[in-house]
Structure 1
């Protein structure tokens, strides 16, 4: 993901290194917060030198900006393709693999007392408002007199499921930001928005895809258990 103000596009091998560093930073920021993560810890997680991190991202704020941009791109792409994924149960696992690290990042980044956190929240509200204002097949525009306020409330409610991860995970008996624990919460969110925003057909597809995903997870666990015997 290019960072504004960093000059010409780097060669392909540098893009690979940049992506590895960004992905490592995403996880480090999620675990330690932006203040707690260091270039050294990010470099170790990415398997590169501190100098290479500094070469690609001059400051931690530039690296955070790259993580913000990537996280928003993931949200945008997953939102745009939700109908296709629900029609293809096999795509749920791939979507979760990309989505869960981003959600963990949001859970930490959005509670920072910083201008960057404010911009990130505002960007999420804007993205939500555009999503609601131009719904794709199977989705409806909400019946509201104030779409911006509706989008802000919806974004805040979605973020609360991330910030309150520990409480939700305790209540549901599984980590809601893990591959095994996410489906139960996602079913609930699917049903919360079913009446106003999603068609019955899309909701049914969503449940079917999650059913198939959970069956595949159970089969994989059973196979692993048999291999261990």
Structure 2
């Protein structure tokens, strides 16, 4: 669920502002002053909570990793991957995280390497028993790179789709295309549940308009 900015603590507002600034300007281009302005606080308060820009980046990295791990836990471990409420919450909260991750993957943030390695490990679990000419780890590395490539190339993907990839509509379209392209055995029994969840999610979104 997306929390209104007014309901966030000052520390969380600063972190979210840093996510946006780092996404837009990169680590090198973002400044403490710019982050403070976006958060509506003083530069001194930013430094009070995080110290330096590197401290802010570390906090953003940790937040992104926590978000990704929580999503895996909720979606896969707790089997909510096809739940329309889970899909709606994810589509609502993921865009700032994905924009930051896209820039982090290009800039080489430590979080990017950790996210990649964890995605490989998660994917490999589902490939171990799938017959293939290559080993499960190699396939997991390649598939993780393909999936994260969509995030890195989000501006080109958005242009090609004619809709912002990180919007609710764009995310649903890309999700369906991903399910069509990835072999069903990679998500045992999950592909149909995700499609059903997307159907219900989009129906609810249409009724809410």
TM range (shorter): 0.7 to 0.9
Question: For residue 90 of structure 1, what is the aligned residue in structure 2?
Answer: 85
Question: For residue 191 of structure 2, what is the aligned residue in structure 1?
Answer: 203
Deviation of 1:142 after TM superposition, in Å, equals 5.0
TM-score if structure 2 supplies the norm length? 0.84
Rounded to whole Å, the distance in 2 between the matches of 1:118 and 1:151 is 21
Deviation of 1:175 after TM superposition, in Å, equals 0.8
Q: Does 1:19 align with 2:7?
A: no
Aligned length: 199
- Indicate the larger mover: 209-218 or 46-55: 209-218
1:21-56 CA deviation, whole Å, 9 max, x = no partner?
111111111122222221112112222211110011
Rounded to whole Å, the distance in 1 between the matches of 2:67 and 2:136 is 23
Deviation of 1:140 after TM superposition, in Å, equals 6.9
1:101-120 CA deviation, whole Å, 9 max, x = no partner?
111111112112xxxx1633
1:154-189 CA deviation, whole Å, 9 max, x = no partner?
222122111211221122221111122110001111
Deviation of 1:141 after TM superposition, in Å, equals 5.4
Rounded to whole Å, the distance in 2 between the matches of 1:140 and 1:197 is 10
1:52-107 CA deviation, whole Å, 9 max, x = no partner?
10011111111111111111111111122224333421221111222221111111
Query: Of the two structures, which has the highest relative contact order with CA contacts closer than 8 Å and spacing of 6 or more?
Result: 2
Q: Does 1:150 align with 2:139?
A: yes
Rounded to whole Å, the distance in 1 between the matches of 2:176 and 2:82 is 16
* Contact 1:133–1:141 (Cα < 8 Å) also in 2: no
| Partner SS, residue 122 of structure 1 | helix
Question: For residue 124 of structure 1, what is the aligned residue in structure 2?
Answer: 115
* Contact 1:132–1:142 (Cα < 8 Å) also in 2: no
Note the residue ranges of structure 1 that are not aligned, 5 or more in a row: 1-14, 222-229
1:181-222 CA deviation, whole Å, 9 max, x = no partner?
1100011112333434112x311110111112212222233x
* Contact 2:17–2:39 (Cα < 8 Å) also in 1: yes
Counterparts of 1:183-198 in structure 2, within 5 Å, are 183-198=172-187
Rounded to whole Å, the distance in 1 between the matches of 2:48 and 2:20 is 20
- RMSD, aligned CA: 2.3
Question: For residue 76 of structure 1, what is the aligned residue in structure 2?
Answer: 69
Rounded to whole Å, the distance in 1 between the matches of 2:169 and 2:71 is 19
Rounded to whole Å, the distance in 2 between the matches of 1:38 and 1:149 is 39
CA shift in 2, pair 1:141/1:186, >3 Å: farther
